[in-house]
Structure 1
Amino acid sequence: MARTGRRPGQTQTRADILAAARNQFAARGYAGATIRGIAAEAGVNPALVHHFFGSKDQVFVTALNLPFNPSRLVDTLLEGPRSRIGERILRLFLGLWEEPVTRLPFFALVRSVTTSPEVADQLRQFIETAVLAKVAAALDLPPLRVTGAAAQMMGLAIVRYVVRVEPMASATEDEVVALVAPVIQHYFDP
């Protein structure tokens, strides 16, 4: 009698799915890649892609080794009073840059998007659809306002962590939050 279920030992399936995902995102961009297309290229059922990664967002995050989970970002924005969104999102963002385990992938990501138009395009599509559009819809805000907040935070990251301009580079997190959170909050106020 044939045995059913997963084969014993190591499986190459997850790695095959990630390789296919990288190819699909590179060829079609974030918006054009689909779970079905990734599964077809990997030679697996789409249910396996969902089993290993959950959603297209998570496949992208894993395939590009992004140091954050977009659904966590949206959840953080919504889990508290709207009047404190600027502080919540800024503390989350600064925390990602402060932690060594997420800082290094962020540096790699910044280098990649500044040197590769393909990676920049994939990341742009992902940020627009998986992060900014979801936040704008959840808070009933025009996308331009949410994009403005993202631009402020990215500028802060470049000055504080990449170029390390003083005194911003050595300011405490609380000092940065006190200075910048009101500006970020402005974008989220109706």
Structure 2
Amino acid sequence: MTATGRTPGRRPGGPDTRGEIVRAARESFADKGFAATSIRAVARQAGVDAALVHHYFDSKDELFIEAMALPLDPRQVAAAILNGSREDLGRRIVTVFLGVWESDEGQQRMKAMLRSVVTSDDVARIMREGMTRMILEPVSQFIDLPDAKLRVGLIASHLIGMALTRYVVELEPVASADLDQLVDRIGPAIQQYVSG
């Protein structure tokens, strides 16, 4: 025992332990990327036990979402996209993607994320790894074709281009087009990537 009455070793959770864990995770994701970051390494960097990290975060995915301040939970996005038949996948993808962007808060946070990704190689790498694991890989598995990863990559490029056009550049008439009209027009194009 030490003079403070505590046993030596890892400190217990304190008032800002969660914040310290998030900061350590953000640094680790930035330095090592998504794949090479582990819960144990984050715990070590934050000066806490790995069990305490698990107390606050159920998984590395959840820690990533919090550390990167994502405006959405990619696992929920993937679940919504995959909830239905393959024949309607294109329409669901567009509906879910636009739904994330359409609220004022969602649009603000997505714009910030998009700008960060295009201006920072580190942020782009981290986001690419995380989004690939949590959204692109599950959708590729759902499509289940030999070139599924290429198809999903083309879908992502189409959607990112559309987001830049509508929400960042605000090119008319795309910027003010009705949401249902966009889904009706873009859904079949995305479905071509799925089944064409």
Q: Offset at 1:155?
A: 0.6
The alignment covers a number of residue pairs equal to: 184
The aligned runs of 1:7-46 (5 Å cut-off) are 11-46=15-50
Query: 1:38-90, CA deviations, whole angstroms, 9 ceiling, x for partnerless residues?
Result: 11111222232233222212211111111111111221122112211111121
Shifted more, 142-151 versus 39-48: the winner is 39-48
Q: Is the 8 A contact 1:25 1:33 kept in 2?
A: yes
Q: Contact between 1:29 and 1:125, CA under 8 Å: does it hold in 2?
A: yes
Partner in structure 1 of residue 9 of structure 2: none
1:156 maps onto 2:172 in alignment: no
State how 1:1-190 maps to structure 2 within 5 Å: 11-141=15-145, 142-189=148-195
What residue identity is the alignment partner of 2:183?
V
AA matched with 2:110: F
Q: Contact conserved, 1:68 with 1:96, CA < 8 A, in 2?
A: yes
Please tell me whether Structure 1 or Structure 2 has the larger radius of gyration of its CA atoms: 2
Q: CA deviation at 1:138?
A: 3.4
TM-score (norm 1): 0.89
Read off the aligned partner of 1:167 and give its amino acid letter: P
- Flag structure 1 segments of 5+ consecutive residues without an equivalent: none
**Contact map agreement 1:73 1:89 (CA 8 A) in 2:** no
The one-character-per-residue Cα deviations of 1:9-32 (angstroms, maximum 9, x if unpaired) are x72111011010011011101121
Q: Percent identity?
A: 41
Q: CA RMSD in A?
A: 1.9
CA drift of 1:150 comes to 1.0
The alignment partner of 2:173 has SS state of coil
Whole-Å Cα distance in 2 between the matches of residues 89 and 47 of structure 1? 36
Q: C-alpha separation between the residues in 1 aligned to 2:138 and 2:157?
A: 17
